[in-house]
Amino acid sequence: MTIVILGAGGIGSLIGGFLSKQNDVLLVGRRSHIDKINRKGLEITGSVNENFKVNATTKIISINENDLIVLTTKATDNKRSLDEIKHLIRKSNTVLCLQNGLGNEEQIKKIVDCRVVRGIITAGVTFLEPGKVVCSNLGNIFLEDSDASEKIADMLNESGLDAEIRKDIKKLIWKKLILNCVLNPLTAILKVENNGISDVLDVAKMISDEAVEAAKTQHIDFNKYKVFRDVCRVINSAGSNKSSMLQDILKGRKTEIDFLNGRIAEIAEKHKIGAPVNMALTDIIRFLENKKLKTKI
């Protein structure tokens, strides 16, 4: 069995590197990154200091029966990335979705005709330059309870990653969603590292509280004070990590805002509870995306 890592950015590279210790792994990513990996290996520094010799390519030519596809692209790239390979995917394959955002797995199931397993990862990873990523912490990988999850969890654990199957995966997805709704847009707008938003905690709390109210409409019940306390703990321990949204804005790329704060605003509007701060942040990030993209053109 080959493990195909579709989206070899920071997270994808980290997972692929570790899995390559004991498995046949294929990293799929941008040419500059792939070329460097093929020449000099994948270098991961920080809490991990290793160079991984892992197969890497810019395009998937074939997928074998029972191959596992680990989807670590941005959620905004799901349709484009999967459309390119869906003719290669068989019913015996499995797609493991390890992405930020809400509702990703439903979108994926509409594109591919195979098993889709949802998971989340809490690692802190920054893409430094082609061939190099920085990992501040390995974190955990949580998988939904499915008939494929035990085998996947075993592979991850045997490779040195901390994975477990959780029956409350929806609640964990929402918890990470709320954290990302705070960290990503604020760091991207203010152009600061993750711990730099400690000076705007009042705004962070409004974002978090609105998201907690939106979660209730989906039958996910949180204590808003405990959720925000956890958010603050992550902010204080985040150090010099750069959020993925900040990196996207700096590089003039489209962000995942529609799967984060945009999703909160959408749910709030549907249930008529209001989420003005999340809606405002969504509009601001969309403006910054368009401004950067136009500037690059």
Could you give the 3-state DSSP secondary structure of residue 133?
strand
Cβ-based neighbours of 30, under 8 Å, separated by 6 or more: 8, 58, 130
**88, two tokens:** 């290669």
Nearest to residue 280, comparing CAs of 175, 189, 187, 173? 189
74, 132, 175, 176: which is the annotated catalytic residue?
176
| Catalytic status, residue 176 | yes
In this structure, are strands 141-144 and 132-137 parallel, antiparallel, or unpaired?
Answer: unpaired
How far is residue 281's CA from residue 166's CA, in Å, rounded to a whole number? 31
- Whether the CB-CB separation of 4 and 24 falls below 8 Å is answered with no
Outline where the chain has alpha helix (H).
Answer: 10-19, 31-40, 78-83, 104-109, 149-158, 169-190, 201-216, 224-237, 244-251, 261-270, 276-296
- Whether the CB-CB separation of 201 and 183 falls below 8 Å is answered with no
| Active site positions, annotated | 176
